[in-house]
Amino acid sequence: MSEAVDWFPGMLAFLAAAGSLTLSGSLVRRLVHPGWSGPSALLADLVLGVSFLFISAELLGIFGLLNRPALLVLAGLILLVCASAFWRSGQAASGTGDSPLTLRRLTVPVALGLATLLLVASQWIPTSLNALEAGMYGGDTLWYHMPFSAHFAQTGGITDLLFVDTQYLHWFYPQNSELFHAAALVLVGSDVLSPVINFFWLALAVLAGWCVGRPYGAALPAAISVALLMSLEVLAARQPGGANNDAMVIALLLSALALAASFWRKDSGFPSRATGPLVIASLAIGLAIGTKLTALAPGLILLAGFIFMLPRGGRLRGGILLALAAAATGSFWFVRNLIFTGNPLPWLSFGPLEKAGELTGREPKPILDYLADFNIWSEWFVPGLSDRLGPFWLGLLVCAIAGLVLGLLSRDRLRIVIAVSGFAALLAYLLIPLGAAGPDGSPTAFAVNIRYITPALALGFISLTFPPGRIDERTWRLGVTWLFSLVLAASLFGSRGLSLGGYPVTTVILAFALLAGLPAAVAFFLVLRSRAKATLVAVIWLVGIFTLGSWQAERYTDFRYSSESPRYPTMNYPSLELQQGIGPLNDLARDLKGQRIGLSGSLAQYYQYGVWGADQSNEVEAIGIEADSGDIRPPASCGEWVQALRAGDFDLVVTSPPVPDRDPETTTTAAEEGWISQASAELVLRRARLAVWKVNGRSKLFSTCGF
């Protein structure tokens, strides 16, 4: 029952920090542009609140102080400063901006937009419930997303590198999403919120789509286009119930566009008072770039475009402010890479900058190399696209590219910037080394990495909703709305459909209310400026969170990464890996606390998060030989193996075989088993191809391999 008791102070801390930072964002938004209201104002509040959270977590993490008391104190100080500045300004609630919605103006498009968001949320519910019942079993979530978050929360610092494997360079990735999960983890005291955090990004993305399209009279089709993208297998199979960050990137890029579009005037450009909102948009760009490399190209294009479109008299000053804002939320990880390797992008070599190491897990290969190969298209690309984007994949790609082309042909400079940004995202997708990685002629990574194209799809879909100049605007909007709606319906009610996932109807309804329905209602009434109704719904929501959430948090602790979970994977991914030893390893780790555990072999490294323990107190890292460049490679001999063990000072060592191209069926016996057995280590667990050893003192390692 410990989790049920800890749930209340943990959630109070989380809500206090989130509420303080969001309120701070609201005060800053009202200072930046008095009278700014409506959906885009709510979007600005949320972007500012998230920005304050990231900046706070980064500042504390640099000094190793990322913990609950420090976060709460800093959130309170930020609120105090913002409130003081707001009241001293004496600003009045007057000005221009989005006009607020009213019940009188609550028309069919608004209702359909909300219904679309809630439909996609309902599609995400069963996967999230599975994660809340058994743990997050997504591949990248287990491999590096949540290990990074646990490492941040455990150490309180964000400056050290955590080596999660010996084949890739994940520790150099931008890690804003992992920092977001770490902040939730230290505030709540558990990772129980991580399976549902992406619901926030889903809602933010659809809200941003609405706000982008609204100035062009295309709010509904734009929102539906974003919802459609979120419903496709490429996102719907990986974002709910895990820590994958593609939804976060899409939400932040579209938020930047939405804030800019709210003040853009096709005939006159940005007014001088738009600099403040564009600074907020730049914060969103920085957040996206600091989350995933797929946002780097489109984000920089958007930032440059916003600066170029500023009024000439204030372009230099405004440009500096926009660049600083983006740097504040997006530069930390690249600066850290520069310090460790001398290269902000350690995967690439350009000019005098050398890459930190090789990607040895898969042979890197860009999609561009295969574009003219019809055999690759028939054997790999078409099946992959059909699986990830659905049977209408070709039409979706055509729609996205058509939208970008129409944007380029437009005389509207903002639409041109959106189009250039979208094409930059598309070109980056074609050039990413892992886009078609695998043996020559066998791009085995293509299907799983199709998610890298989603920023380009989002920008292309949004661009398509803007009516071209020579076509009747109403006809265009109606046609695009029907087009995206039909494809969305096919996605939601097609082969997979809106399944309950085996859960009772009441369970799904309650989960839907807590994760989507009630928070959407709160946001809606806030936009309506109906504070009484928003407060009433918020109270109902909080009661549900503290009662049902406490019960679910206890179940999550009882069954998280446990073979006793009623939702333990036995047929679906990663059931094979669990049977090969990961499952028993997770069961063992649930009872361990404060142990230093070394992982050898990609089978253990790829599925490691359960090894961090029920309270994430175990220190876990890959066993390898570190290089000066910040890379790590697997030990090539028994001598190097012992050297790595001595350097790691591990309590437990996990040996597992390599997984060629992440195909567990082709694994072999781990060579390290023979090496460590010579070191007089005690065998703790052996299941299938995986073994756990207790190291009986460092001194005995010296007698191994001739030492």
Amino acid code (one letter) for 41? A
For residue 613, what is the DSSP state?
-
Q: Tokens 């088993």 appear where? A: 673
CA within 13 Å, CB half, 410: 26
Cα end-to-end distance, the chain, whole Å: 49
Averaged pLDDT for residues 38-61: 95
Averaged pLDDT for residues 410-427: 96
- Residue 82 · residue 20 · CB < 8 Å: no
Averaged pLDDT for residues 20-25: 96
Q: Give the per-residue pLDDT at 94.
A: 42
- Residue 366 · residue 432 · CB < 8 Å: yes
Q: Give the per-residue pLDDT at 701.
A: 55
pLDDT in tens, 605-641: 999 999 999 989 999 999 999 887 788 888 888 888 8
Q: Give the per-residue pLDDT at 410.
A: 92
My answer on whether omega of the bond before 574 falls inside 30° of 0, hence cis, is yes
pLDDT over 50 at 26, yes or no: yes
Instruction: Take residue 298 and report the two structure tokens written for it.
Output: 């489109």
pLDDT over 80 at 556, yes or no: yes
Tell which residue, 451, 667, 574, has the closest CA to residue 142.
Answer: 574
- Residue 337 · residue 345 · CB < 8 Å: yes
- Residue 431 · residue 425 · CB < 8 Å: no
Alpha carbon separation from 242 to 146, 284, 557, 620 (Å, rounded): 9, 22, 16, 20
- Averaging pLDDT over each range in 115-119, 213-217, 422-426, which range is the top one? 422-426
Q: Give the per-residue pLDDT at 93.
A: 42
CA within 13 Å, CB half, 699: 0
- Residue 17 · residue 72 · CB < 8 Å: yes
Bridge-partner residues for 596, per DSSP? 619
Q: Mean pLDDT of all residues in the chain? A: 89
Amino acid code (one letter) for 562? S
pLDDT over 50 at 552, yes or no: yes
Q: Give the per-residue pLDDT at 318.
A: 92
Query: CA angle 117-120-123, nearest 5°?
Result: 150
- Report the DSSP pairing between strands 632-633 and 625-626: antiparallel
Q: Give the per-residue pLDDT at 103.
A: 52
pLDDT in tens, 155-191: 999 999 999 998 888 999 999 999 999 999 999 999 9
Q: Give the per-residue pLDDT at 707.
A: 44
pTM score > 0.85 for this model?
yes
Tell which residue, 328, 329, 334, 325, has the closest CA to residue 280.
Answer: 325
DSSP 3-state of 507: helix
pLDDT over 90 at 443, yes or no: yes
Burial of 196 (0-12, 13-18, 19+ CB in 10 A): buried
pLDDT over 60 at 446, yes or no: yes
Torsion of CA 76, 80, 81, 86, to 10 degrees: 140
Query: CA angle 119-121-125, nearest 5°?
Result: 120
For residue 293, what is the DSSP state?
G
List of residues 6+ apart from 585 with CB closer than 8 A: 604, 610, 611, 654, 685, 687, 690, 692
Instruction: Take residue 505 and report the two structure tokens written for it.
Output: 């109807």
- Residue 448 · residue 377 · CB < 8 Å: no
Q: Give the per-residue pLDDT at 110.
A: 78
**DSSP 3-state helix, strand, coil percentages of the chain (rounded to 5)?**
65, 5, 30
As a whole number of angstroms, the distance between CA 143 and CA 141 comes to: 6
pLDDT in tens, 648-679: 889 999 999 887 655 555 656 777 887 877 66
pLDDT in tens, 217-264: 999 999 999 999 999 999 999 899 999 999 999 999 999 999 999 999
Burial of 479 (0-12, 13-18, 19+ CB in 10 A): middle
Instruction: Take residue 480 and report the two structure tokens written for it.
Output: 């695009």
As a whole number of angstroms, the distance between CA 405 and CA 420 comes to: 9
Q: Give the per-residue pLDDT at 495.
A: 56
Got the DSSP string for 68-132?
A: HHHHHHHHHHHHHHHHHHHHHHT--S---SBPPP-GGG--HHHHHHHHHHHHHHHHHHHHHHHHH
% pLDDT > 90, the chain: 65
647 versus 244: which is more confidently predicted?
244
As a whole number of angstroms, the distance between CA 550 and CA 554 comes to: 6
Q: Give the per-residue pLDDT at 101.
A: 52
Compute CA 328 distance to the chain's CA centroid, rounded to the nearest angstrom. Answer: 19
pLDDT in tens, 575-610: 999 999 999 999 999 999 999 999 998 899 999 999
For residue 612, what is the DSSP state?
G
pLDDT over 60 at 95, yes or no: no
As a whole number of angstroms, the distance between CA 444 and CA 384 comes to: 10
As a whole number of angstroms, the distance between CA 616 and CA 487 comes to: 42
The backbone torsions φ and ψ at residue 629, rounded to the nearest 5 degrees and listed phi first, read -80, 0
